[in-house]
A and B are shown apart, each in its own frame.
Chain A
Amino acid sequence: MDDVKTPTSEERKTALSGLGTSRKRVEDARFTQGKGNYVDDIKLKGMLFGDFVRSPVAHAKIKKIDTSAALALPGVHAVLTAADLEPLGLHWMPTLAGDKQMVLADGKVLFQGQEVAFVVGDDRYAVADGVALVEVEYDELPVVTDPFKAEMESAPILREDIADQKEGAHGPRRHPNHIFTWESGDKEGTNKVLDEAEVVADEMVYYHRTHPCPLETCGCVASMDKINGKLTVWGTFQAPHAVRTVASLISSIPEHNIRIISPDIGGGFGNKVGVYPGYVCAIVASIVTGVPIKWVEDRMDNLMATAFARDYWMHGKISATKDGKITGLWCHTTADHGAFDACADPTKFPAGFMNICTGSYDIPVAYLAVDGVYTNKAPGGVAYRCSFRVTEASYFIERMIEVLALKLGMDSAELRSKNFIKKEQFPYTSALGWEYDSGDYHKAWNKALEAVNYKKLREDQAKQLELFRSGKSRKLIGIGLSHFTEIVGAGPVKNCDILGLGMFDACEIRIHPTGSAIARLGTISQGQGHATTFAQILASEIGIPASDITLEEGDTDTAPYGLGTYGSRSTPVAGAATAMAGRKIRAKAQMIAAYLLEVHDDDLEWDVDRFVVKGAPEKFKTMKEIAFASYNQAIPGVEPGLEAVSYYDPPNMTYPNGAYICVMEIDVDTGVSEIKKVYALDDCGTRINPMIIEGQVHGGLTEALAISMGQEIAYDEQGNVMTGTLMDFFVPTAWETPNYETDFTETPSPHHPIGAKGVGESPNVGGVSAFSNAVHDAFKPFGLTQAHMPHDHWRVWKIAKDLGLHN
């Protein structure tokens, strides 16, 4: 007996694979074997397909739609147009931003790729032939793709449906193409500081239009069961519960008769938050035909029509004392929203959390105004791997810091350091009203500068500059610095809702008799690895090994209500709910253990996976034993079973932050850049799974690289999409992806039950500035202040040319 040792606490802790362990992703076994179950894998009996006739032009009146040839084609069952949807009141639908959007073109089209008619047929092939046979007569109208021109007197009126409406969802409108003005901060105070400042830097920073481009495009299968009146929709939904409520509100189908299921999702990045015409048409078509309808976009549809990101023209002014203490920040943003305001933001925030644009800095006074504008471009404005408009805000301030450093003749690393919010200032209330929860920016910054040997980098850069100046090389080196602060985890119900739905989230746990468990959440993983990490949170909370905990999300009939996964909200909100529900389980387990051990509750203490009698370590009950007892003991005053649910309304957002540095070599003649180094330090509070964090950072950095160096949705003046395929829309492959060095500091969030802040989007937020600043930095010695992204070959070449660097 002697050699059978009771495992130590440490050993038992390791066996749980709880918080802080690099547990392998449980999802990967199926994904790497091609055994995932995505929307397009769903095949139901009698299922038909639907697809869109899309507008080839950006702005036109529709004179006529002739569906007869399509309908005559064998295999085509129906063609829906706005006229068919109108009696149901579904030819338009509300957007998440308080606007409305055409489901199918109602008399006119407003952007290239807009949905005009929905063809339903036996299979994709019949439908594609049907789509080609629908004849639409367009009467073209003048096009406006420039948001500044859209507000001119002479601009064509895009939204004739609301042309006379002087008041929009977010206040007064000053022009038929104007959507809203959103203000934050102290206008007069800021103007006064700017007027009296010793130094002011003034710059226009454009964050171009791009697209989340998930590997899997958007789609759904809608199935109306006419016998029991129940509608089931499988879809690529980042927010299945919200979709159910919205579907009920717009279709008048009672909410209990709607079941929304998000199966495996092949990446979302914000692209799958909104409600798209395809979903509505598939549902209507299923109701009309009585059979399931599948709609899945192709790549071109997705890039052209489904939810772009960014497109913010940010005019900034930043003031400082001569020695570099920032005194004020002013920003006016012109936001190009496309044809409908379909941004996926919390209701009260038409420009998202753009007012986090004071960044990581202690800025005494600030003012922000955002004007939303309609243009003949696709609607969207989603948060592409970032919290609502946070990457725009972060890019803005990180560019303004660089521009200010130029003006001051100061090293921008030092300028940042001089103005960071200090550790002891947290919780810190920013000039634009946010309460930053925690951070130690100086620590992170110093660690980063040391890790890359910043001084040496600058010396190497200077040497290369010498070689360039003496004609020995045509290459320059740029060092891109970025310190970002995100605001994620939306959010407190008091100020965050989507269509009136508070942005809490939920977790429900059931412990089985043998001591394993199932937990269900209101979120939905799209690659983040929730089934892995949430089980880890729970393992640490309730002492059941992560491998014994099943995680389920995405089925509105079984999962508790939650607002879904985007804006890095899963860990801050649903992760907190998970911990809180776990604590409820533990509280009940403690009562059961006390009963079994015949002691008072207070005489017990928690030890990894068991309750132990204080002072008598040989007397304990493990969670496994307690679980079984909960099913077979009649404990006075305690209900049988071991279950808990928690709906968590976060008291505040969380504020992940980090320090990123990129070193880039640029050939001034070809515009070709080569990434020499990327260092990314993240502080996401408590680290649940370091391996998953690293994976998230790699993925996010790669998207940031894409966005800053080439990825864009470009339009010509006629409103034609110029980047409709992956030939021209840049998605990096392994070849273009550099090595990443990751690092961390760990400053837990004081208000989150386990101190975690969320990390999935940080690298996109911090990365774009690091890459873009590197390009700017390379040309700094020649007087470059601002050059808009994406920094693809020809635009970088153009910088060099404009600076006179070509002979």
Chain B
Amino acid sequence: MIPSAFKFYKPDNLQKAVALMADFGDEARVIAGGHSLIPVMKQRLTDIKHLIDLSAINELKGINIKENSISIGAMTTQVELITNEELFKVVPIIREASLQIADPQVRNLGTIGGNVANGDPANDMPGLMQLLDATYKISGIKGIREIKAREFYEGAYFTAREDDEILVSISFNTPTGGYSYEKQKRKIGDYATAAAGVILNVDNGVCSSASIALTNLSDTPVYCSDAVSMLIGKQIDDSLLSEVTKSCVEQSDPVADQRGPVEFKKYVAGIVINKALKRAFERS
């Protein structure tokens, strides 16, 4: 498993990286933790001539917790997301979800930016970003722009990011309420058979706001808008949660693979979603 030859660059600021990307166009690719990119390069499923390493760019790193919002640099590793106590205090679901990604070796190198930019529907972070209604800050030769995570994913490995743009950071408002990220997988190091994230705010048993998102149950992460509207303003009980679960499953569109056929995945999705809803409700 040897990739085809490439040239390697390690710019020390964002401007240089953006310029390199503009120069080489679609022959170039940035590399973050490499844990999605290197496997495809080694299998020669992609042929990259210029590889631009983002690891020396400080502007892409760090977790910035403000009064009502949080911003996370693209090059922040998954292990940092897990171990940062301040972040855990304000958005505990990030640790809960990150701990379910792959294994410690992958998480030591894998970054949040690589995870969300990759466009792999199996990745957990894109679903989580649907849930948090995050905004991606993206930089290109034409300048900086922002895209909502809920508008970013177009299909498997297709996103609203242009080939020569670099994801700089991810930001979102600090969520409140009960939360849960539930994932079924075959083993450590596996992507989800089905996974779901839920955030619920409940006043006197009535849902005041909600967010639900699914991972690896379609060719993009799924934000379950119908299910969310079913919840808001309603008294929460088991039967409502079952209805909501059903609605989410209807929005899913998984594909068969070695994890199992579609029918199985949809069934498990229902279980996982329902668990996440109940857990978030308990915690609200």
Judge whether A669 and B189 touch: CB under 8 Å.
Answer: no
Interface check B8, CB cutoff 8 A = no
For the complex, give the distance between the alpha carbons of A798 and B268 in Å. Answer: 12
Contact partner, A794, options B2, B44, B261, Cβ 8 Å? B261
Contact count band on A:
20 to 34
Distance between B103 CB and nearest chain A CB, rounded to angstroms? 7
Q: State the CA gap A127–B264 with chains docked (Å).
A: 43
Per-residue A-contact encoding for B89-131, CB less than 8 Å = 1, 0 else: 0000000000000010000000000000000000000000000
Would you give the shortest CB distance from B156 to chain A, in whole angstroms?
16
Among B191, B258, B264, max chain A CB count under 10 A is at B258
- What separation, in Å, do the CA atoms of A723 and B259 have in the docked complex? 11
A470 within 8 A of B: no
A299 near B1 with CB under 8 A, answer yes
Q: How far, in whole Å, are A730 and B187 apart by their CA atoms in the complex?
A: 8
Tell me the smallest distance from the CB of A378 to a CB of chain B, in Å: 18
Contact between A710 and B186, CB atoms less than 8 A apart: yes
Contact A733 B187 (CB under 8 A): yes
Tell me, rounded to whole Å, the shortest Cβ–Cβ distance linking B265 to chain A.
8
Among residues of A, the one whose C-beta sits closest to the C-beta of B185 is A793
Interface of B is mostly: loop
Report whether B184 and A669 are in contact in the complex, using a CB–CB cutoff of 8 Å: no
Question: Which residues from B are CB-within-8-Å of A727?
Answer: 189-191
| Candidates B2, B103, B261, B264; contact of A124 at CB < 8 Å | B2
Q: Are B187 and A732 in contact (CB under 8 A)?
A: yes
- Selected from B1, B2, B188, the residue in CB contact (under 8 A) with A735 is B188
Given contacts A728-B258, A793-B259, A794-B261, contact A672 B2 (CB under 8 A): no
Q: What's the tally of chain B residues with a CB closer than 8 Å to chain A? A: 24
Provide the bound-state CA to CA distance between A67 and B267, in Å.
50
Bound together, the chains give a CA A794 to CA B258 distance in angstroms of: 9
Say how far B154's CB is from chain A's closest CB, in angstroms: 25
Q: Tell which of B43, B44, B268 touches A670, judged by Cβ atoms closer than 8 Å.
A: B268
- Contact among A127, A669, A733, A797 with B260 in the assembled complex (CB-CB below 8 Å): A797
Asked if A714 is an interface residue, CB under 8 A from chain B, the answer is yes
A722 within 8 A of B: yes
**Complex formed: what's the CA distance from A655 to B203 in Å?**
69
Report how far A670 CA is from B266 CA in the complex, Å.
11
**B267 touches which one: A669, A710, A732 (CB < 8 A)?**
A669
If A124-B2, A125-B2, A723-B258 touch, whether A672 touches B184 (CB-CB below 8 Å) is yes
* 8 smallest beta-carbon distances between A and B, as pairs: A794-B260, A128-B2, A735-B188, A728-B258, A794-B264, A298-B1, A669-B271, A733-B188
- Besides the known contacts A128-B2, A132-B44, A798-B264, 10 further A-B residue pairs in the complex with CB atoms under 8 A apart: A125-B2, A132-B4, A298-B1, A669-B271, A730-B187, A732-B187, A736-B188, A792-B186, A797-B260, A797-B264
Q: Give me 20 A-to-B residue pairs in the complex whose CB atoms sit less than 8 angstroms apart, sorted by A's number.
A: A125-B5, A132-B44, A670-B272, A672-B184, A710-B186, A710-B187, A714-B258, A726-B189, A727-B189, A730-B186, A733-B103, A733-B189, A735-B188, A736-B187, A792-B186, A794-B260, A794-B264, A797-B260, A797-B268, A801-B267
Give the B-binding residues of A (Cβ under 8 A): 124-125, 127-129, 132, 298-300, 669-672, 710, 714, 722-723, 726-728, 730, 732-733, 735-736, 792-794, 797-798, 801, 806
Please give the residue numbers on chain B whose beta carbons come within 8 Å of chain A beta carbons, in ascending order: 1-2, 4-5, 43-44, 103, 184, 186-191, 193, 258-261, 264, 267-268, 271-272
